[in-house]
Amino acid sequence: MEIIQITGYKNSGKTTFAERLIHLLTKCGFRVGSLKHHGHGGTPIGIENTDSEKHRRAGAFLAGVEGEGVFQLAANPPLRFSEMTAIYRMRGTEILVVEGFKYEPHPKIVMLGKPEDVKLLDTLTNIQAVVTAIEIDIKGNPYPVYTHSEAEELCEWLCEKFARADT
């Protein structure tokens, strides 16, 4: 399973880019999964007062609920990234698009929304490309830089890259 991370600060365009990428990779014939880190603090909306959350608080180390094809899983202690990705692997995912989890070691597309976001490039590893909504002029920048309007080109490049890796 290939993993590509979409990382950046809040409101940098991560979700919009992830949607485009998932759409294109699916159109290219890949089985695409997605995993999003809820980086806004607290638990994702809709979990707090569920029966499965009551089960978790009562001591269940894993508590799940399924309905109409939606499966939510809560873990105590929280699942590690490798445990979450194992679920996707088990389901036959060919490419996992991960939004967030910026410090994981997988290949990354870094989204820059504001000039001060550029510092992110100094703290992350395995950067494949940068997508930016701002004018960017970084001396010695080793990464290909795309604007938001060129994001489709980057998605096509990734589709070709994954197709080559698949053969």
**Which two tokens mark 31?**
């089985």
Nearest to 130 by CA among 7, 4, 2, 3: 7
Residue ranges of alpha helices (H) inside the chain are 14-27, 51-58, 81-90, 151-166
Q: How many CB atoms lie within 10 A of CB 38?
A: 12
Contact between 158 and 25 (Cβ < 8 Å): yes
Per-residue pLDDT of the chain (167 residues; tens, 9 = 90+): 999 999 999 889 999 999 999 999 999 899 999 999 876 555 555 566 677 778 877 888 888 888 888 888 888 888 999 999 999 999 999 999 999 899 999 999 999 998 889 889 999 999 999 998 887 766 667 888 898 888 888 888 888 888 877 66
What domains appear along the chain, each with residue ranges and CATH number?
Answer: 2-37+92-166 (3.40.50.300)
